[in-house]
Every structure is written in structure tokens, then in C-alpha cells.
Amino acid sequence: MARDWLSVKKPKPNPTSADANKDGIVLRSDDGRLFYWLRATRAGLWVQRDRWRHDSRARLVQSHVFCSNAAFARWCDADTVRFDYPIVFSKLQREGRALLNGHERPTNAAADHPAG
């Protein structure tokens, strides 16, 4: 169980349609103190959370790859900023789920629904 965090899938040799959206989705709060950057990658849903805290004059940028909707939902539920930034947070959950759902589709699904 402990090694679940090390089970990030190795990138597949063939790029998928998800790679086309290299820059991903950026969500930001109105006050500019919270940013999320989401991107579907070959390994899963990559999320970078960037938070500026004026009280401790610090900025903490954390990045992680989520391989499942359950892991992403658990992380979202644990983040206390959801009370301070409900709109950004709601978008984060929606966009994250959508990218993960796209990622978890069978590989041949991309061929059924070509990008563009």
C-alpha cells in the first residue's frame, strides 16, 4: 500500500492526444494568490498548485501526478483553500475530473474521437 505513491505510470512511448494540449489549463484566484496548472499527461493528471502566502511571505509550489479520480478527489477534499476560494476550487475539481476521465479512456478511444 505504501508504494502506491511510487506507481506513477511510465510515459508510453507513443504520444496520445492528451499531449497535444501541452500547456494545459491555468486557474487563478482574483487576488492572484492561488494558481493551479493542470495538464493531462501520459502518466496521469499533472497538477501544479502555486500559493502565495502574505502572512509568512512565502510562495509554495507543489506538483504531483494523479493516476486516478479517487486520489485526485481525496487531495481536493483535504485542501483547506477550498473554503477561501470556492469558485477556483470548483473549477479545479471539474477540470481535473474531465482531464482524468479523458486520460483513463482506453487508448483506442482517441482514434474514435480525433482531436481538432
Binding mask 14-33 for another protein (x = CB under 8 A): --------x-----------
Nearest-Å Rg of the Cα atoms of the chain is 15
12 and 18 Cβ atoms separated by less than 8 Å: no
Q: In the bound complex, what is the minimum distance in angstroms from residue 5's beta carbon to another protein?
A: 5
Q: Which stretch binds another protein (CB under 8 A): 26-34, 35-43, 88-96, 103-111?
A: 35-43
Instruction: For residue 59, state whether it binds another protein (rule: CB under 8 A).
Output: yes
Tell me the β-bridge partners of 53.
58
The SS3 assignment for 76 reads helix
Phi (first) and psi of residue 34, to 5 degrees: -140, 130
H/E run at residue 53: strand 44-53
5-13, 85-93, 96-104, 105-113 -> range binding another protein (CB under 8 A)? 5-13
| Number of residues located near another protein, criterion CB under 8 A | 37
Is 111 an interacting residue with respect to another protein (CB under 8 A)?
no
